[in-house]
Each structure stands twice: as structure tokens, then as C-alpha cells.
Chain A
Amino acid sequence: GLLLAALLVSHMLLTKEGVTSLPICPNGSVNCQLSLEELFDRAVKLSHYIHFLSSEMFSEFDERYAQGRGFIAKAVNSCHTASLTTPEDKEQAQQIHHEDLLNLILGVLRSWNDPLIHLASEVQRIKEAPETILWKAVEIEEQNKRLLEGMEKIVGRVHSGEVENDIYTPWDGLPSLQLADEDSRLFAFYNLLHCLRRDSHKIDNYLKVLKCRLIHNNNC
């Protein structure tokens, strides 16, 4: 019975897949692939989701652990991705070449791979960490990987020249997440979550700009 159900489900999935992919793959097309628009749609949805999660997680953490500790003042200028020069306003975001912006997005995403993995594991050691935070940490890590894959796909599609693979900022914050002093440790988490919220929002915003620029010709 279970097997049958599994078969049925997989069949349904397959057929569904087939149906959805139908319009994307025109008759006789050899390179059946998602359109750039579709790719961007998915990427934007994903980045939106990731930022939603990270934003929620930050708020939860802030509410629970950071009240009255003045973390915000200390958190200034301490994101590990700060060395990546990213557009800081609309004008910059519009002026930067889309390939460069895509590369930046890739760089930021890559830079978060490592810290997210550690975050997902270390966050479980926070005292009385609520399940919601734990879950989000894991979810963000997974979704970030997915987004990175998608972005690599987009970059591969958009880029004319070679793809720069070396944009990447190392993260050395693991020891700070394991500090014995609770206050310091909590601040390390706070800062990481704060940076995650910021960077995920950056990526989301850049992707939305890029989508409007590349797909809708700046007329979203």
C-alpha cells in the first residue's frame, strides 16, 4: 500500500512536472531550459523567502536575548561581508553593470555558505533556543544553497565572459560563536544574525532590481 502510494505520488509529481515544463519547452527545442524570466522569478521568490526567514529569526533573537544589551551599537561595521563593495543606494544599484552585480550576489551568497552551516549547528547550543530559531537556521542554510545554485545558473546564462569564481569573503567568526562568556557569545550571534538579515535583504533587493532591469526593461 505504501509503495503504491509512493508510486502514485511520484507519478503525480512527474506528470505535474511534465505539465509545468511543457510551456517552457517549445516543440522540438533541443535545449529545454527554463527561461531567464522563470529563473529570476524563482530566485526572487527564494531570496524573498530567505530574507523573510532571516528577518524573523533576527527579530526573535533580538527580542529574546538582546534586550537592553546595546548590541546594536557594537554591531556597527562588523559584518564579514563588509569588504565586498556592494551598491548602497538605488543609483549605485542602477549604475553597476548587471554582470558585476550578479557576481557580487554570488560572492555574498558564497560568503554565507560557511557561516550558515556553523550557525545552524551552533544555534542549537544557545540556552533555551526556541524551536523556531533552530528551524529557521537550518532552513536558511538549505535555501541559501538552493539560491546559490540558481544564481549560478542565471550567471551562466547572462554572463558573456568567464564567470569569476573567486569573489568570496572568508568567515572566521566560529570561535566567537563558541565563546564561554555568554554575553560575548550572544553578541556574536546577534551580529551574525544582523549581518545575515542585512545581506539577505541586499540580495533580495539586488535581485528584484536585476529582474526589473533584465526582464522587464526597468518597467516592473
Chain B
Amino acid sequence: MKERFISSVQIMLQLALTTVGLTGQSYPGKPQIVRCRSQEKETFSCWWKPGSDGGLPNNYTLFYSKDSEEKIYECPDYLTSGPNSCYFDKNHTNPWTTYIITVTATNEIGSNSSDPQHVDVTSIVQPDAPVNLSLETNTSANLSYLWAKWSPPSLADASSNSHLYRYELRLKPEEKEEWETVSVGMQTHYEVSSLKAGVKYVVQVRCMLDLGEWSEWSSERSIQISKEQLPPEKPVIIKCRSPEKETFTCWWKPASDGGLLTKHTLFYSKEGEEKVYECPDYKTAGPNSCYFDKKHTSFWTIYNITVRATNEMGSNVSDPHYVDVTYIVQPDPPVNITLELKKSIKRKPYLVLTWSPPSLADVRSGWLTLEYELQLKPEEGEEWETIFVGQQTHCKMFSLNPGKRYIVQIHCKPDHHGLWSEWSPEMYIEIPTDFTVKDMVVWIIVGVLSSLICLIMSWIMIMKGYRMMAFILPPVPGPKIKGIDTHLLEAGKSEELLSALGCHGFPPTSDCEELLIEYLEVEDSEDQQLMPRHDTPSKNTKIMLKETDSDSGRGSCDSPSFLPVKCRESRSLPSVDGRAKDVRAKEKKGGKASWDTRCTASEQKTLPCESIKTCTWLAAQLPSNQAAMFAYHSTVEAFKITLNTTNVNNSPVLVGNEENRQSLYPIAETVYDVVEKVREMEYAKTDQTTVQVRQNEHSNKSPFLNPKLMDYVEVHKVRQDEKPTLLLKHKENSGKTKKCTVPGTSKEYTKVSTVVDHHILVLLPDQRSQNTPESQEPVAETSRNPQQSQAEKNTSYSTTTPSDSRRDASGSDYMDPSSFMPSFK
């Protein structure tokens, strides 16, 4: 059963297979006309692709009809164009006809026809690709050419070879994708220029008839364009450098090699040697360089270096490079740079930089000497500050701005020649701020403290102002220059000024010096100066009064305690005077009043006044009144007043004895006595002479200061003589020295010595007032005195002038010094 079953299955399978096989045999598939093409417009061919054959041998038949005819023809030639093609020869080809072509496949079962294909011969023209392409390269005049040749496509019909083709050529470097197409024209060869040397090119050509399509590209041909066949260009030596003054290296820029392998060779010759050497070491310093080691390096020798580039085609030599290694040293940058912040004693931070010479440089032997330069800037700054530090390897930088980050760099250079090294890598340092803040605090504290001290000081000053003033500026005698009249100054006569000062000329004499000393003493009585100016009394009596006043004033100044006494005395005086002469009394009124006021003033004000200043102040006030102006403070005057009083008592005698000098003596003596008394009161000095001298001095001073006060001048003379004589002479000489009184007094002041020698004392007793021995009174007296009549003129002149106007008088007074000046000369 089983076998039967199996066999039955096999049968079944076989049946099935046979039925399949039966069904596989069918009519042929539809063939497809692939293309029709005419090579040259005169013939054409059509190719088809067979469809499925249906398992049976097929027979293909091509039928065509012409658009002009209904008739159907079969392919005239199935062979010429190969299998599954039909060739239409010239006879069957009509360019003006459209062919309708179909292909029919036939087998045992049936047949199948393709779709009809309409063919216009002129539109299907496409020649075959050109053939026999060959390439050549040619080099001429430094340029490479590519020479391509080919043949036109071969035709099936060898007889018709007269067709003209246009050709196109395309080429590309082998490795590239893009072609470069060149239109060639009718030629069958072409020359390509501007090729790159050393590149392999691929070339194809194609052709076309005057109508139709381009042929296929011909098969590829390729050719290698050879590298340039030229000698290399000139190499250029770029530079030579010695990093440590022991070896050096030269670098060059290679010449363009032109595609050929080019070898560079360095040759050098040294000064003083004929031989030319080749570079000892191409490798150490890298490509395109030559390293000269120590053995090959000489200094103070010029190397003539050239580089030769060589290839197959030849060689080229660089321009010679002359090098003296001495001048091409360029060291490496300094190393081991350290930045350190240190604090100075004042706690101000400063930067300490240290560094080492580059490791290659042997500076220890002295063979190479390096100098350094550093630059720094705040990090955000733009401009570097450059500091040359010479051969040192350290540097301190002060006055850096705190709180800023600085960048520092250093480079170095050999001492004479060579180049600066590269800058060392940037180093950063931040200057801390706290140092300066502390500093600021300290300074602020100092400032506050000092201002506090100043404040305290000034406060104390204010509190104790006067005392301090007195202490710091002790009472100084008033300006001595007051003796000089401003008029003089205005006049600008230096000589006069000098003379007024007591110096009669240059060079100063010993006398002058003496005088100067005296002047110092004189100056105490400033008021006198003022007084005399305004004095210029028209009448002697006035002067008398004034003098008394002045006396009191002065007394007050010198010794306040004594002042009241004087004041009383002076007060008492006028009364006596007034009695003596009515006229004078009259005149005295004003003087009295002024005197009184002054007295009170002096009592009130001068009493407290311990220093001259107050006195001067008094004096300053006094000038308002004429009388006040006469307030002489000199004790001498005070004494005179007293003297005058005595004189007044003796006035009759005096008057009577006016002309008689001798008679005057006793009076003088009495006066002297009085003087003595006064002196005692004032100075309480036992020594009369000294006292008198002093008094005289005082009196002298006043006249000196005010040349107007001739009387005082004369008194001064007296001082130097013996006391008694002084007084006597005073009166006596008044007449004689009339001349002198005006100019003479001035002389005396200038030269005391002369006066002493002559013993000339001008003391004129006041006939009218009797009290005052003042100069002006004497003048008046002299006019009356017969003896003095001669002198009278002069004196009168002097007196009168003052009377006219005080100012004038004062001016005349001042004139005196000038007049006596010449005598010293």
C-alpha cells in the first residue's frame, strides 16, 4: 500500500510538472526597439531587445513602412549591424522619409509585435566615437605641452569616408572629477598647454557631424606630465644667529624646487682662508639650516656663506651672506625669574625682581656679558614701562601702585652688539593694598595731631597775646630811620640819607661808627623827631612851652614813676613863665592846654606804658597839637625845664648879661646844679658827669634825629666837654656858631669828635624865655646880640624859615645834614 501510495504521489508530481511544462511553452514576449541610429545620415540601423522567448526558439522579423507608402517591407539586412538589428543601407535609406518600424517575434505557439517606432533619419544621426587616440607630452621653453591625436570613427561602409566631423576633447587630472572640455574643431589633433607639472592627465575626445548628436566619448587615454625640468631658483639666507656667542646657526629659505628633487648645500669660507667648506651639520638646527658648532665657530672673522640649491636641471646659488659672529649674538630670554614683594622700613612695599642669565650663556667666564632690560605695566595698562638695568640680575621697583596686578617681562642682550632676546614669559604680581592703608592711617594721625598742636599753640598765643608779644618781640627802640626824613628819602639823595644816618661817606669812618652807637641811644626819644618837624615855632616862647611838654612826656616814658613829678614841675613851670612874660604866657596857653592834656595823657597812659611803644603811641597822638608835638620825653629836657625855671628866676641877670658870656657862667652853674638835681631824681646816679653826659646825649639825640632842633645838637657837644663848660659854652657859642647851629649842628651829629676837639658848644640862653636853651630861642637871641650879628643873618634865616612854614622849616632842618656832608668829605 505504501509503495503504491508513494508511486501515486510521484505520478501526481510528474503530472503536475508536465502540466507546468506544458503551460511554459507560450507565444513570445513583446520585443522592444531600443534605438535607431544613423552614423552618417546615409544609412541607419535599428536595434531591438527581444522579449521572453516563451520557451521556444523565436524568429524575429522587422517590418517597416514609409509614411509615403502603404506598403510594408521587411528588413533588408539583419546581419550588418549585429544580432537583433537591422541595417538599412543607402538604398533603403531616404533622409526625407519617416519610417514606421515594428519587430515581430514568432515561435511555434504564436507571435508578438513590438510597438511601432517612428524613425526620422536626420534626427537619429550620431557618429561613433573617434578612435586611435594617442597622447604625447612635449616640453619647450619651461612649459609642458600635451599633444593629442585621434582618428575619425570607422564606418561600416568603408567606401564612404568623406564625412567631416567636429571634435571635442576633454581632460582632467587623474584624481579629479571635473573635466575640462576643449572644442577642437575639425582637426584630429590638439595641443594642451598650461599643464601642471607632475600631474597625470586623462584625455577623451568625441565627434559630431554637422547635425545630430555628439558621439560617445572615446575611450580614456592618460599621460603623466613630467615635473619641471628647470634648475631651482635662488635660495635666500634668512639669518644667522648665535645664542651664546659660542656656536651659531644659519637658516635659509629653500628655492622653489619646480617639482624636481632639489638639494640645498651650504658653503662657507672664512676670512683669511681660501678654502671653501660645506656646512658641518644640517640636522641639529632643523630643516633648511646649518649649525656651526664650537669648533666651526670663530669670532672676529667674517664668514662668507652661500647656499646652493641643486636639482637634475642644474643649481642656483644664493647671494653671499657676510657674517661676523660677534655681531649676531642673540641670547635666549633670561630664566628663573622671581618676583618678590618686600617691605621697606617704612612699611612701604617694593618689588624685588631676580633672574638668571639664559642657561646657554656663559657669563661667568666673561666671554659673554649680558645686559638686561625689563618692562612692566599694570595688567590693564596699555603701555609698557621699560627699565634698563645693565648687567645686574636683580632689580628693585618702588612706587608701584598698590592693589594692581603687574605684568613683568625681561629680556637680555650682549653688551655691545647683537640683538635683544625674546621677552621672557609674562610674570604677574599683585601689589597688596593693606600696606598703604596702614601708611595712610599713620599719616592721617600725624596730620591730625600736628593740626591739634597748632591749634593749641595759637590758642595759647591768643590768650597770652601781649605777654607773648613782649616776650617774643622785646621792646625795640623805634626805627632809627625816623631820624631820616621821608622827604630826604623822596629826594632820593643817598648821600644825604647816609649823612643823616651818621655816616658821612664811604667808607665809613671810625667816627661814624661811634656816632652810630650814639644814635642807638638817641632813638629812645622818638617823639622828639616828630616834634621838631611840627615845631618850627614862629616864636621861641612857643618852643619853650613845647619843650616843657615834651619833657614831661619823655619823663613819663622813661620812668612812669617819675612822670608825675615832672608833670607837676612842668605845670608849675608855666605858671612861673607866664608871670615872667605875658606874651609868652599868651602863647603858652595853647601849649599849656596841650601840655596839660599830655600830662594827663601821660599820667593815664604813659604810666602803665613800660615800653617805648606806648610812648611812641603818645607821640603819635600828640602831633595833632602843635604843642603836643613838642612833647619831648627826654629827661634832659625835663631837666632843662627845671633849669629854665631857675633861669626864669635869674632872667634879669641873664638878660643883663646876654652879651657877656662870662656872666653867663654862674647861671650855667646854677643851671647845672638844677640839672644835677633833676638828674638825680631821674637816674639816681651819683656820678654827675655821667649823668650829665647822658642827659646831654639825650638832648643831643633829639637834635640829631631832628636836625631842626639845633639846640639839642649843641647840647650834644656839651656832653663831650666837661659839664660846666658845656653849659657855659652853650650859651657863649650860640652866637659864634650860629652858622653851625643850622648846618653846624648837623655836622656835630655827624662828627662828634671834631666838635669835641674844638670844644665848641653852642648853648644859647633864651633871653626872652630864659628857660629854654633851645636853638630857636638862641637864634632869636643872636639876632639881638651884637656879637652875633654876623651870625645873625644865618641864624635868622634858619629861624625865619621855620617860622614861615613848619614844613619848610623842617625841610631846612633836614638840609643841614646835607650841608655838613662836604666837610667830612
Q: Are B304 and A76 in contact (CB under 8 A)?
A: yes
Would you call A213 an interface residue if the criterion is a C-beta within 8 Å of the partner chain's C-beta atoms?
yes
Max chain B CB contacts within 10 Å: which of A89, A91, A208, A218? A89
Considering the complex, give the chain B residue whose CB is closest to the CB of A215: B366
Residue-wise interface mask of A (199-220) relative to B, using a CB-CB cutoff of 8 A (1 in contact, 0 not): 1011011001111110010111
User: Are A208 and B366 in contact, with the CB atoms below 8 A?
Assistant: yes
Q: Can you name the residue of chain B whose Cβ is closest to the Cβ of A204? A: B416
Given contacts A93-B367, A204-B416, A210-B366, contact A88 B298 (CB under 8 A): yes
The reply to whether A89 and B365 contact each other, CB–CB distance below 8 Å, is no
Q: Which residues of A contact B298 (CB under 8 A)?
A: 88-89
On whether A201 and B326 interact (CB within 8 A), knowing A76-B271, A88-B301, the answer reads yes
Which partner residue on chain A sits nearest B368 by CB separation?
A90
| B754 sits at the interface (CB 8 A) | no
Say yes or no: A73 contacts B416, CB within 8 Å.
no
Residue B417 at the chain A interface, CB threshold 8 Å: yes
Set A201, A212, A213, A219: member contacting B300, Cβ < 8 A: A201
> Please, how many angstroms separate the alpha-carbon atoms of A108 and B396 in the complex?
41
Grouping DSSP codes into helix (H, G, I), strand (E, B) and loop, the B interface class, with mixed when no group exceeds half, is loop
Asked whether B324 lies within 8 Å of A89 as measured between CB atoms, the reply is: no
A51 cross-chain contacts in B, Cβ below 8 A = 416
Q: Find A76's partner among B294, B302, B363, B415 (CB 8 Å cutoff).
A: B302
In angstroms, Cα B326 to Cα A212, docked, is 19
CB distance from A218 to the nearest CB of B (A): 6
| Chain B residues closer than 8 Å to A48, beta-carbon distance | 415-416
User: What separation, in Å, do the CA atoms of A188 and B297 have in the docked complex?
Assistant: 28
Tell me if B610 is interfacial: C-beta within 8 Å of chain A: no
Asked, given contacts A73-B322, A88-B298, whether A201 binds B416 with beta carbons under 8 Å apart, the answer is yes
What is the distance, in angstroms, from B274's C-beta to the closest C-beta of chain A? 10
Which of B297, B363, B415 touches A220 (beta carbons < 8 Å)?
Answer: B363
Whether a CB of chain B sits under 8 angstroms from the CB of A145 is no
Q: For chain B, which range describes its interface: under 10, 10 to 19, 20 to 34, or 35 or more residues?
A: 20 to 34
Name B258-314 residues within 8 Å CB distance of A: 271-272, 294, 297-302, 304
Tell me whether B246 and A72 are in contact (CB under 8 A): no
A94 at interface, CB cutoff 8 A? yes
CB distance from B370 to the nearest CB of A (A): 11
Distance in Å: Cβ of A83 to nearest Cβ of chain B: 10
Does A185 make an interface contact (CB < 8 A)?
Answer: no
Nearest CB in chain A to that of B303: its residue? A76
Given contacts A55-B417, A198-B326, contact A94 B365 (CB under 8 A): yes
A55-B416 contact, Cβ under 8 Å, with A90-B246, A198-B324, A213-B366:
yes
Q: Does the CB pair B272–A77 fall under 8 Å?
A: yes
- Among residues of A, the one whose C-beta sits closest to the C-beta of B325 is A89
> Is A52 on the interface with B (CB-CB < 8 A)?
yes
Residues of B within 8 A of A198 (CB): 300, 324, 326
Complex interface bits, B400-428 against A, C-beta within 8 A gives 1, otherwise 0: 00000000000000011100000000000
- Taking CB atoms, residues of chain B closer than 8 Å to A103 are none
B413 to chain A: closest CB distance in Å? 14
Q: How far is the CA of A208 from the CA of B294 in the complex (A)?
A: 20
CB-CB < 8 A to A213: which residues of B? 365-366
The 9 closest A-B pairs by CB, nearest first: A212-B366, A88-B298, A208-B366, A209-B366, A90-B367, A77-B271, A76-B271, A77-B272, A198-B300
26 A–B pairs (Cβ distance < 8 Å), ordered by A: A51-B416, A52-B416, A73-B304, A73-B320, A76-B271, A82-B272, A88-B299, A88-B301, A89-B294, A89-B298, A90-B245, A90-B294, A90-B365, A94-B365, A198-B300, A199-B300, A201-B417, A205-B299, A205-B367, A208-B367, A212-B364, A212-B365, A212-B366, A219-B364, A220-B364, A220-B365
| Residue positions of B touching A, CB distance < 8 A | 245-246, 271-272, 294, 297-302, 304, 320, 322, 324, 326, 362-367, 369, 415-417
A sample of 12 more A-B contacts (CB under 8 A), given A94-B367, A209-B367, is A51-B416, A72-B322, A73-B320, A75-B302, A90-B246, A90-B362, A91-B294, A198-B300, A201-B326, A205-B299, A208-B366, A220-B364
